[in-house]
Amino acid sequence: MELICFSHIRWNFVFQRPQHLLTRFSKHHHVYFVEEPIFNASKNEYKMEQSEDYPNVFIVVPHLTDETSVDSRNLILKELLNSLIINEDIGKFVSWYYSPMALAWSDHLSPELIVYDCMDELSAFKFAPAELKNIEKELMSLADIVFTGGRSLFEAKKHLHHNIFCFPSSIDKAHFSLARIINEEPGDQKSIPHPRLGFFGVIDERLDIDLIDKISDLRLDWHIILVGPVVKIDPATLPQKKNIHYLGGKNYKELPVYLAGWDIAILPFAKNESTRFISPTKTPEYLAGGKPVISTSITDVVNPYAINGLVEIGDTAEDFILAAEGIFKNDIPEVRIKNADQFLLNNSWDETWKEMNRTIKETLERKEQFLNPKKTAYV
């Protein structure tokens, strides 16, 4: 069985939950990763390219002319999607959604199963379409199975679906553990003095820019390193200080190299609607890299990481600084890393996918038995 994924995240943007899960699916099946349309074309068409690293992953990008009517866009996208299925000779498939908005031009399909992997509360994000909440409700009513990307998101949505499961984002321990043994510094980081407080991820409205600014003012000898693309906010609004360093986006393979050179890894998220339900993947990634971590009081960071003594919490610049000073003074790396490793022992994307796949197969079996009660179950 093949898989058609509808995503608001572009495959080659930041390697995160969708890529981790779908590359594992692609070990045995084709994955067609359908991105949101780009309006730059002289004619309406889709372009498809094969992933260099994952040969069973095909990245599909609709290219549209600048149509004025949303209805006409959706009709065109339906036609392009139909063409993809015909041209690729796609038979049985699973429809896998990250973007509920794609339902407007894919609701005519007849997949064997509809999966909604709800990794974020997208309606709370900056520039979210006004109709997103209603379309998500429709998707929830159609989905055979729903996954959530964190505990708080699960608690908020568990009453909305009969077959919903919490699968917090996991880690590739072997990859991020490299940060413990890497000694070579990347060129754009090696000249930055210590102590270093580092963050990697998307720099957008979820980041508490004011908090970062105040920390930099209160500790001029500390250097804050931000690794990641700037999205949905004007780069000109970011504080420009001698001890704040914006290193831009890096590929997934490079992240342990940057992490290795930090003294403390930070999660300086704002406390707002867009972060209410987030479950940052970088929390266990930082810990796997052997770094002490300070975060604002994001619900899914406090529980389970802070309550288990693995992450320090601070919501003000003063709290952040106090936590960092405590780490510099009292940290015993061997003990901290041992505790983190024990906590993360069974945390891996392979295990997460294994459990997800089991749940998918069970749901498929129940659906098949319901639709064809005289048939035997799948073996």
- For residue 248, give the H/E element and its range: strand 244-248
* Helical residues (DSSP H) of the chain, grouped into ranges: 17-25, 70-87, 132-142, 151-157, 173-176, 209-218, 255-259, 282-288, 299-301, 317-330, 333-343, 349-371
Q: How confident is the model at residue 245 (pLDDT cuts 50, 70, 90)?
A: very high
Residue in this structure with the two tokens 């997208």, named with its chain if needed: 122
Q: Measure the CA–CA gap between 199 and 194, rounded to whole angstroms.
A: 15
pLDDT for res 257 = 98
Q: Measure the CA–CA gap between 64 and 149, rounded to whole angstroms.
A: 31
Closest of 352, 350, 348 to residue 176, by C-alpha: 348
pLDDT digits (tens, 9 = 90+) for 124-174: 887 788 899 999 999 999 999 999 999 999 999 999 999 999 999 899 999
pLDDT for res 344 = 96
Phi-psi region of 290 (alpha: psi -120 to 50; beta: other; left: phi over 0): left
In this model, does residue 182 exceed pLDDT 80? Answer: yes
Average model confidence (pLDDT) across the chain: 94
Q: Which amino acid is at 143?
A: A
Residue 116 near residue 146, CB atoms below 8 Å: yes
Q: Measure the CA–CA gap between 241 and 224, rounded to whole angstroms.
A: 10
Span 73-93, average pLDDT: 97
pLDDT digits (tens, 9 = 90+) for 107-129: 999 999 999 999 999 888 877 88
pLDDT digits (tens, 9 = 90+) for 341-374: 999 999 999 999 999 999 999 999 999 887 777 6
Phi, psi of 152 (to 5 degrees): -65, -35
pLDDT for res 377 = 47
Span 175-189, average pLDDT: 96
Span 223-252, average pLDDT: 96
In this model, does residue 67 exceed pLDDT 90? Answer: no
Tokens of 346: 């069974």
Instruction: Provide the angle, in degrees to the nearest 10, between the axes of the packed helices 349-371 and 17-25.
Output: 60
pLDDT for res 375 = 55
